[in-house]
Amino acid sequence: MKKDNETLKIIGKVDAVNQGATFYNTTIFDQDRKTLNIKLREGIDKVTMGQIYQFIVTKEPNERREDEFILVACEIKEVEEVLEVDEITKLYRIFYDYAPITLNNLKNGIENYLKQVSNKVLFDITKSIYDEYKNKFYIHPAATKFHHTYIGGLAFHTLNMLKMAEDMLKIYSYMSSDLLYTGIILHDICKTLEITGVDGEYTNEGLLLGHIVMGVSKIDEIAAKFGYSDEEEVLLLKHMIVSHHGQMTFGSPKRPQIAEALLLWYIDSIDSKFQVIGEVLHNTNQGAFTPAIPVADKGRFLKHKLTK
């Protein structure tokens, strides 16, 4: 809690919301895990359960008890709006489970692959979209359930896929590393708009459009900004996004029709399954089967004596 003249700046995670016809209050956990109750003024946007905000509050007298005061919020901002990625990561490590890799390793790994892209059209579009969303990208889960459902899960999933793609390209060298790397970096980046975050929910845009449609729309927007709209690379990159779920029954408007898109779908599916299997096996006793794992077709897997 930091004081600025008569105003207090409090950063905390929303634990409960109490709202009625004449009141709107929230209970939060601050960075010291202390519970605070904050009254929200009329006109302030609603807060989301499980999200972390910076509350700009004033102390006001408690009419019922002279020795106490009430915290009244006059402004609320998402922490992504006011803090840098490193500070945000420290906060999320306090409040949530985090990806099993440091933020610096995630950033350095992903940005190293981006730097390898030599095609100017693909690089300019991907770098622009990446820069726009990178603060949320590194703290977002990959999904609300099933796989990589923790802070940093989206970036961790993306880096795993880039590593797999690098090895696959050594074998299948006819494919474009530029197209594959940029497609992987962008394929899920609009999940930052689709999902509010860990402990959060799907946004209206997420429910009505989804990250695939939003991703293609963003590529069109940035391509037009650079004057690249008629370039073939734009069409190919959009195809990578629209086909990365593989089949229409899985949510893809189109099936993969270029080799890079087919590989993107395969390695996306591999990481979403095997990362989860590994996490469940870690919590399973040796010699026992895991519970049914939804993302792996509800299969149950034996933790045998050779399992690491």
Least confident of 85-94, 105-114, 200-209, 266-275: 85-94
For residue 78, what pLDDT is reported? 82
Higher-confidence residue of 51 and 212: namely 212
Chain centroid to CA 46: 21
For residue 19, give Cα distances in angstroms to 27, 56, 71, 149. Answer: 11, 19, 16, 29
**The pLDDT of residue 235 is above 90:** yes
Q: Do both 134 and 253 map to the same domain? A: yes
Q: Do both 125 and 214 map to the same domain? A: yes
Can you give the three-state secondary structure of 228-281, one letter per residue?
CCCCHHHHHHHHHHHCCCCCHHHCCCCCCCCHHHHHHHHHHHHHHHHHHHHHHH
Q: Cβ distance 20 to 36 under 8 Å?
A: no
Alpha-carbon Rg for the chain, nearest whole angstrom, is 22
Q: Do both 110 and 69 map to the same domain? A: no
Domain range enclosing 54: 2-81
For residue 34, what pLDDT is reported? 82
Q: Do both 102 and 68 map to the same domain? A: no
Tokens coding 96: 């949530």
For residue 65, what pLDDT is reported? 64
Q: Do both 16 and 145 map to the same domain? A: no
Q: Do both 34 and 61 map to the same domain? A: yes
The proportion of the chain whose per-residue pLDDT surpasses 70, expressed as a percent, equals 87
For residue 110, what pLDDT is reported? 95
Q: 10 Å Cβ neighbour count for 235?
A: 12
DSSP string, 18-76: EE-SS-EEEEEEETTS-EEEEEEPTTPPPP-TT-EEEEEEEEEE-SS-TT-EEEEEEEE
| Mean pLDDT (the chain, rounded) | 85
**The pLDDT of residue 147 is above 60:** no
Q: 10 Å Cβ neighbour count for 30?
A: 15
Q: Do both 115 and 260 map to the same domain? A: yes
Q: Do both 52 and 173 map to the same domain? A: no
**The pLDDT of residue 148 is above 70:** no
The proportion of the chain whose per-residue pLDDT surpasses 90, expressed as a percent, equals 41
DSSP 3-state percent helix, strand, coil across the chain (nearest 5)? 45, 20, 35
Higher-confidence residue of 301 and 74: namely 301
Structurally, the chain folds into a number of domains equal to 2
Least confident of 108-112, 179-183, 202-206, 237-241: 202-206
Q: Cβ distance 126 to 186 under 8 Å?
A: yes
d(C-alpha 257, C-alpha 264), whole Å: 11
pTM beyond 0.85: no
For residue 144, what pLDDT is reported? 46
Q: For 139-167, what is the mean pLDDT?
A: 76
Q: Do both 11 and 104 map to the same domain? A: no
Q: Cβ distance 79 to 94 under 8 Å?
A: no
Confidence of residue 266 (pLDDT cuts 50, 70, 90): very high
Within a domain: residue 64?
yes
Within a domain: residue 206?
yes
